[in-house]
Amino acid sequence: MKLLGTLVLSLLFAGLCPTATGGETSGSHLPAPGIYGSQLPLEGGEMLTYAFSVPAVDAGQRVPLILALHYGGSPTLGKGATYLKILAEPAFSDLGALILAPDCPGQDWTDPRSGAAVLALLDHAMRTWPVDSERTAVTGFSMGAMGAWHLAQEHPERFRAAISVAGAPEQEKPVTIPVYAILSDHDEIINGGPARRAVKAMRREGVEAKLVLLADGPTHYRFADFVLSLRRSTKWLQKVWSEPKAP
C-alpha cells in the first residue's frame, strides 16, 4: 500500500504524462514526446522517484542524455519534476535530449546514497532507451550544481560535460571534463569564489572551462530567470559533444 501511495503521488505532483511507469519501454524505443514520472527500484528496496523528458525523434535515432539535479530545500516528492519543467526542459529543449530529473534520495547530491542512485538511474536509461553515450551531460542548480561538480569530479567517465548554475564545488578536487559555470552577481546565497577557483585550476591543466558571470543577474531564488542563460550553454555543449573525447 505504501508503494501504491507513492506511485499515485508521483502522478499527481506535477501533472505528468499518464502513468508513472507507462512512459518506459524495453529495448531501443522511446515513448511519445512528453514529460513522464516514474520510479526505479534500488538495491535495498528503496524507490528512486524521477521525472524524464522525452524529445521528438526519428525512429532509430540515438539521443543525447542530460542528468538534471534539482536545488535544495525541504524534501518534497516531485521536486525533480518541478525543476525539470521550470528550468531544465525549457533550457535544453532544442537539443533533442532525454532529460532525467530525479528526486534527491540523500541529504544532498554529494551523499553516497544519492550518488549510487543517480548512477543506477543512468545505467537504467542506457539499457532502456537509445541513448548516445558520446553526448551526455550533468547539470544542476544550487545544491544540484554542487552535485554536478561532484559527479564531474568523482565519475568523469559517465559524462562528456557538466553545467553548473548558481552553485559551486564542495571540494577543491580535479575536474577532467569540460565545465560551463553560470553565476549571478546578485546571488545572495552562493559564494562564487570556489567555482571561479575551480575554473582557473581547470584552465591551468588545459581542461575546457567556461565561466559566465551575469551582470545585474537574477537573485538566487528566482531560478526560473536563469532559463535564458542556461539555454545559451547549449551551443557550447554541442561543440563539446562534436569534439573527440579527451583520453
Q: What is the CATH number of the domain that holds 98?
A: 3.40.50.1820
Inside any domain, residue 247: no
The pTM (predicted TM-score) of the whole model is: 0.90
- Give the pLDDT of residue 4: 35
For every one of its 247 residues, what pLDDT tens digit does the chain have, with 9 covering 90 and above?
333 334 434 444 445 554 344 345 445 688 999 999 999 999 889 999 999 999 998 888 899 999 999 999 887 889 999 999 999 999 999 999 999 999 999 999 999 999 999 999 999 999 999 999 999 999 999 999 999 999 999 999 999 999 999 999 998 899 999 999 999 999 999 999 999 999 999 999 999 999 999 998 999 999 899 999 999 999 999 999 999 887 7
Cell digits of residue 200: 582557473
- Give the pLDDT of residue 20: 41
Alpha-helical runs (H) found in the chain: 2-12, 79-83, 89-92, 112-128, 143-154, 193-204, 227-231, 233-242
Cell digits of residue 153: 569530479
Inside any domain, residue 231: yes
Inside any domain, residue 23: yes
Look up the domain containing 170 and give its range. 2-242
Inside any domain, residue 142: yes
- Give the pLDDT of residue 58: 85
Inside any domain, residue 215: yes
- Give the pLDDT of residue 7: 40
Inside any domain, residue 64: yes
- Give the pLDDT of residue 172: 87
- Distance (Å, rounded) from C-alpha 46 to C-alpha 56? 31
The tally of domains found in the chain comes to 1
Inside any domain, residue 14: yes
- Distance (Å, rounded) from C-alpha 18 to C-alpha 8? 11
> Measuring CA to CA, how many Å separate 205 from each of 92, 148, 175?
29, 20, 9
CB 241 within 8 A of CB 156: no
- Give the pLDDT of residue 228: 96
Inside any domain, residue 70: yes
